[in-house]
Amino acid sequence: MSEQLRGFAFPFRIDPSTGGVGATTGNDKFQENLKHLLLTRIGERSMLRQYGGGVTQLLHENINDGLVEVARHQISKAILRFEPRILLQEVSVIPNGGELFLRVRYILPGTLGLQTAVIPIQGG
């Protein structure tokens, strides 16, 4: 399956070797899609209001166990709804000195074993 996953690079960029639109494939493309999903604010897309992970809205709150659990729940819900291509294994929200990092562990059919994506959350 990962060989079939292909699309525009995120963030959008021009490929310097071809002069065309940058593209990514396989697990790299999936991780870009995952990052895009989770960093999109819920309600931001006018045609699909439910799309997004909503975690950037939580960034300016006091980081505590309750916030971490709310973020973990929102992330899991968004992934299960909008990324049915994977088998979600674990979602961790890691506070580190006032910053948040997301660690998502998943199995992407057609790849070998457990994959991990680590996404830094920054205010927007």
Average pLDDT, the chain: 85
Domain 6-121 has CATH 3.10.450.40: yes
For residues 74-80, give the mean pLDDT.
92
Half-sphere exposure of 72 (CA within 13 A, CB side): 16
DSSP 41: P
pLDDT at residue 123 tops 60: no
What DSSP state is assigned to residue 124?
Answer: -
User: What band does 70 get if pLDDT is binned at 50, 70 and 90?
Assistant: confident
16 burial type by CB count under 10 A (0-12 exposed, 13-18 middle, 19+ buried): exposed
Kindly state the helix (H) or strand (E) to which residue 73 belongs, with its residue range. helix 65-82
Token code pair at residue 30: 């999936």
Lowest average pLDDT, out of 3-7, 68-72, 74-78, 109-113, goes to 3-7
How many percent of the chain have pLDDT more than 90? Answer: 26
- The pLDDT value given to residue 72: 87
- Residue 76 CA to residue 74 CA, distance in Å, equals 6
> Measuring CA to CA, how many Å separate 3 from each of 13, 79, 89, 109, 111?
21, 21, 21, 10, 9
Domains in the chain: boundaries? 6-121
- Model confidence pLDDT, tens digit, residues 110-121: 777 899 999 888
- pTM as predicted: 0.79
Helix (H, G, I), strand (E, B) or coil at 23: strand
The predicted model gives 7-27 an average pLDDT of 86
Terminal Cα-to-Cα distance of the chain (whole angstroms): 33
Residue 77 predicted with pLDDT over 90: yes
Flag whether pLDDT at 80 surpasses 60. Answer: yes
pLDDT at 96: 80
